[in-house]
Amino acid sequence: MSWLGFYKRVSLLLCLVIVFYPFLKISANLEGDALHNLRSSLQDPNNVLQSWDSTLVNPCTWFHVTCNNENSVIRVDLGNAALSGTLVPLGQLKNLQYLELYSNNISGPIPSDLGNLTNLVSLDLYMNSFSGPIPDALGKLTKLRFLRLNNNSLSGVIPMSLTNIKTLQVLDLSNNRLSGLVPDNGSFSLFTPISFANNLNLCGPVTGKHCPGSPPFSPPPPFVPTFIVPSPGGNDATGAIAGGVAAGAALLFAAPAMAFAWWQRRKPRENFFDVPAEEDPEVHLGQLKRYSLRELQVATDSFSNKNILGRGGFGKVYKGRLVDGTLVAVKRLKEERTPGGELQFQTEVEMISMAVHRNLLRLHGFCMTPTERLLVYPYMANGSVASCLRERLPSEPPLDWPTRKRIALGSARALSYLHDNCDPKIIHRDVKAANILLDEEFEPVVGDFGLAKLMDYKDTHVTTAVRGTIGHIAPEYLSTGKSSEKTDVFGYGIMLLELITGQRAFDLARLANDDDVMLLDWVKSLLKEKKLEMLVDPDLQNNYIESEVEQLIQVALLCTQGSPMDRPKMSEVVRMLEGDGLAEKWEEWQKVEVTNQEVELAAAYRTSEWILDSTDNLHAFELSGPR
C-alpha cells in the first residue's frame, strides 16, 4: 500500500471519529453498557440479541429496544425469546418504563437494584425460573401499574413495601413458593385471590386461608338496620307496631341494594377489556374492519411462537387463520400506551387504510384494547425479498433477474405514491428488502409503511427517536433524527444494492475478507476497481443483462448520495427505471464525484502535515474514547 493510500485511510478514520463521536458517546453510555452486560449474562439460542453490538451507533438502533426522543432507553421487549441465564442489575436504565422478559427460562434471583428504575410502569418477569425472595426494593417503584411475577420459583414472604405502590392495577404473584401473611393495609384487598393462587404457604384474609397462630378472621356481620321509635304517652303496643312497620319497609327498600353489593363482591375482578365480536360484529372505519382480540387469539393459537413469521423494531408478526379460513398476518405492535391515545391511533390507522396501491400491502383491519395494538394484513405466501435472497431452502429457486427488476420498479412506484399521492404524506423510514413482501405471483408489495407514524402517535414533532436498520439509515436522519422523503430514497438505494448483490446492508462477515462492513462502501470500492462481476449475486449464475445491472447500480448510487438535496425524488427514480433521464443524472453525478475526490485528496495531504513529524516518522497513536 502506498503512503498516500495509507494517509487517506487514516484521514478517513479521523473524519469518521469526528462525525460519529456524539453517537459513539451515546453507544458507550451507561445504558448501552447495562444492556450489553445483560446480553453477556443471557444464553440466546435464536440470536434475537444479534444486533446488540456495543460497537454500533447506540442502543436505540438495537432490535427489541425502544428509546424516547432524547435517545434514552424506555423499553426492553424480550418476551418469548427462548432466553436463559441470569438477570444482571439494570439500575443504570434510569428512564426505563417497560421491562418485558416474560416466557423465557431466566433463573437466579431478581436483582434488588430494579427498585432504582423509578420510572417503571410495567415489570413482566412471569413464566421464568426466578428463585429467591421478592426484593423489598420493588416497593420504591411508585409509578408501577403492572407487576407480574407469576409462574416462577420465588420464595419467602411478600414484602410489606409493595403495599406502598398505590398505582398498581395488575398484580400477579401466583404459582410460586411464597409463604407467610399476605400484607393487607387496604391495597392488596383490591386484587382477587387468583393473584396469590398456588402458593401453598400464603395465608391471610386476601387468600381466604387462616394463618396459624393468628386469631381467626370472619366476614363482617350483615348490616341490620335498627330503628328507635319513641313511644308517646307510654303506648308501648302502638309504638311497637309502628316500629315494626317502619323496619319492614326499610328492609324492603334496602334489600335490592344489599343484593347488588353482595353480587359486586362475588363478581370476579376484571383486569382486561375487549370489544366482544358478538356485541360489535361489524365496526368498520370505511372498509377497515375492527377485529376482537379473542378473534385474533383464536386465529394465531394465542400468539403461539410456532406462528411467528418475523420480528423487528415494531413488534412481532404472526401467521393466523380466521374462522372463515382466510390466512392473515397479524402484527402485534410493541409500544407504551398512554391514556387518550386510542382516538389518535384509530385516526392514523384510518389514514393508512386509505393508501391503496397495487404495490402497497393492504391493511385488512385492526384490533385496539387498553393493552394491545394489532394490525391485520393479508398473508404473503412468498415472504420477503430478504428471505428469498438469503434464507431460501436449497430446493427453492433463486429470484431471477426479471423478477428483481420488477421488484425494483414496483417498490419505487409504491414509495412514489406514498410521497406524492397521500395526504398527509407518508414516510416509510425503514425501507429495506425485509419490508418488501412478495405475493403468490412474486409481485412486490411494500409493507410496514406508516408504522413509524403509528408508533409515534403520541408525538407530533418532526424530530423523533431514530427508527431503522443499520446500513439502511440515511446519514442526516442518523445525525439529526429528522426524517423526510429523502431518507426513504436513501433506504431504497440500499435495497437496490441488496437486490443486485444478494448481500446484507450491514454484515460483519465481510471483515473476514478485509472488505467494508457497509454494503454501500463495499460496492463503491469494487466499482473503483472495475470489478462489476464481483458485485452480482452468485445465485444468478450469470443469467442477467450486464447493461441493466449497471443501470440499477447507477440508480442506487444516485439515491444514496450523502446530501439529501442531491438525491432524486422517488417519482424521478420511477422515470429513470423506465428509461427516462438516467444518463443525464448519472453524468451530473460523476462530475460531482470527481470534485469530491479532489477535495478528499487535498484534505489527506493537509492531514499528513500534522500526522508526520519533521523527521517524517509516523507517530503511533490510538483512536481512544468511549466504546
Q: What are phi and psi of 561, to 5 degrees?
A: -65, 150
Instruction: Enumerate the β-bridge partners of residue 577.
Output: none
- DSSP structure class, residue 81: S
SS (H, E, C) 373-436: EEEEEECCCCCEHHHHHHCCCCCCCCCCHHHHHHHHHHHHHHHHHHHHCCCCCCCCCCCCHHHE
Query: How far are the Cα atoms of 93, 132, 345, 544 from residue 100, in angstroms, in the given order?
Result: 14, 20, 22, 47
Neighbouring C-alpha atoms within 13 Å toward the C-beta of 437: 21
Alpha carbon 570 to chain centroid, angstroms: 27
Strands (E), 399-544: 436-438, 444-446
Q: For residue 350, give every residue at least 6 positions away whose Cβ sits within 8 Å of its Cβ, in sequence order, or none.
A: 285, 286, 288
Residue 331 marked as a ligand binder: yes
Strand 365-368's sheet: what is its strand order? Answer: 284-285, 288-290, 365-368, 373-378, 327-333, 315-321, 308-312
Grid cell locating 370: 387498553
Q: Which distant-in-sequence residues (6+ apart) come within 8 Å of 37 by Cβ?
A: 88
Q: Which helix (H) or strand (E) holds 494?
A: helix 485-501
Point out the catalytic residue in the list 77, 124, 172, 430: 430
Cβ(274)–Cβ(292) below 8 Å: yes
Residue 459 bears catalytic tag:
no
End-to-end CA distance of the chain: 29
Which SS3 state, helix, strand or coil, does residue 178 take? strand
> Is 55 in contact with 33 (CB distance < 8 Å)?
no
Residues annotated as catalytic are 430
Output the known binding site. 331
Known binding-site positions for ATP:
331
